[in-house]
């Protein structure tokens, strides 16, 4: 499932291939993949536009166009942007962006993925919280964001309006690294715990970017390769396994309808 490290990997690996190219056509095999504007307008307005650069906001990937508009992608749970039609296979391709000399395939088995063509990126990403890897995201900022909240810390970490880019997997990993139980009320964390969590979030995300993302299900890099971050996971998706640190069987619970893994001994 693409979260910040996966989307960042797609951005850096795609950028050298698509920057400077002109869009020559758009094919849609599942029209509801276009959220805005209409499918017809989306197709016609994109033709002839040149891609000047790629950006990322949380889990949103944006292609900046020479017209000043932005083509925005959200891969949701199962989307991939691929440079080759047959990799990993030709099934589940919902859209193709044709460019001069290159085609980009939007593969998405679950059909949750979305594209927008907008004048202002902020109209899509405006409500996002701070980027956790930018200097502005300090321990004090995190403390303010968590202050007074009664929802489980796990749920708050996954709230994109609080922090941008953290999803189910990396919330579990950050909480394990910080030694905090997922069901703790966010506002109940001590300043010391918040400091630890702040460091854990950055460390977990940076390490996963270094591993080119986690290929748990349906995540492929643009060239069709898998990421390796999931091999470093301490708790996420490790159903039925034991804690690497203390050997205690990991627990699986549900928080906000999401599978949540933690070590009952290492996390307090």
Partner DNA sequence: CCCGGAACCTGAAGGC
Partner DNA sequence: TGCCTTCAGGTTCCGG
User: Catalytic site residues?
Assistant: 2-3, 59, 258
Work out how close the CB of 188 gets to DNA at its nearest, in angstroms, rounded to a whole number. 11
**Residue 199 found at the interface with DNA (CB under 7 A):** no
**Near DNA in 228-267, by CB under 7 A:** 237, 252, 254, 256-259
CB of 172 to DNA, least distance (A): 8
Regarding 62 and contact with DNA (CB under 7 A), the answer is: no
Which one of residues 158, 189, 229, 266 is an interface residue with DNA (CB under 7 A)?
158
Chain residues 67-106 in contact with DNA, contact rule CB under 7 A: 74, 76-78, 92
Binding mask 9-48 for DNA (x = CB under 7 A): -----------------------x----------------
Binding status of residue 59 toward DNA by CB under 7 A: yes
Q: Please, which residue, 55 or 259, has the CB nearer to DNA?
A: 259
Label residue 179 left, alpha or beta by phi (over 0 means left) and psi (-120 to 50 means alpha): left
Assess 122 for contact with DNA (CB under 7 A): no
Contact positions vs DNA (CB under 7 A)? 1, 3, 32, 58-60, 74, 76-78, 92, 109-112, 127, 148-152, 155-156, 158, 160, 167-169, 186-187, 237, 252, 254, 256-259
């Amino acid at each position: 499932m693409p979260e910040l490290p996966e989307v960042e990997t797609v951005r850096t690996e795609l950028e050298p291939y698509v920057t400077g190219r002109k869009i020559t056509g758009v094919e849609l095999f599942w029209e509801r993949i276009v959220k805005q504007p209409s499918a017809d307008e989306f197709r016609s307005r994109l033709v002839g536009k040149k891609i000047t650069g790629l950006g990322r906001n949380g889990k949103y990937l944006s292609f900046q166009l020479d017209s000043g508009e932005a083509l925005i992608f959200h891969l949701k749970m199962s989307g991939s942007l691929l440079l080759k039609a047959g990799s990993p296979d030709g099934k589940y391709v919902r859209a193709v962006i044709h460019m001069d000399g290159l085609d980009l395939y939007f593969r998405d088995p679950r059909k949750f993925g979305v594209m927008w063509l907008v004048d202002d990126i902020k109209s899509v990403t405006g409500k996002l919280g701070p980027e956790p890897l930018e200097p502005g995201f300090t321990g004090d900022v995190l403390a303010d964001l968590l202050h007074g909240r009664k929802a489980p810390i796990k749920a708050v970490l996954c709230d994109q309006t609080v922090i941008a880019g953290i999803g189910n997997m990396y919330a579990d990993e950050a909480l394990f690294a910080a030694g905090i139980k997922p069901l703790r009320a966010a506002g109940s964390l001590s300043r010391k715990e918040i400091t630890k969590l702040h460091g854990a979030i950055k460390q977990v995300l940076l390490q996963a970017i270094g591993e080119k993302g986690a290929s748990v299900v349906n995540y492929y890099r643009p060239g069709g390769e898998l990421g390796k971050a999931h091999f470093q996971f301490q708790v996420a998706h490790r159903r039925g396994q034991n804690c690497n640190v203390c050997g205690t069987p990991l627990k699986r619970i549900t928080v906000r309808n999401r599978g949540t893994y933690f070590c009952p001994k290492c996390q307090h």
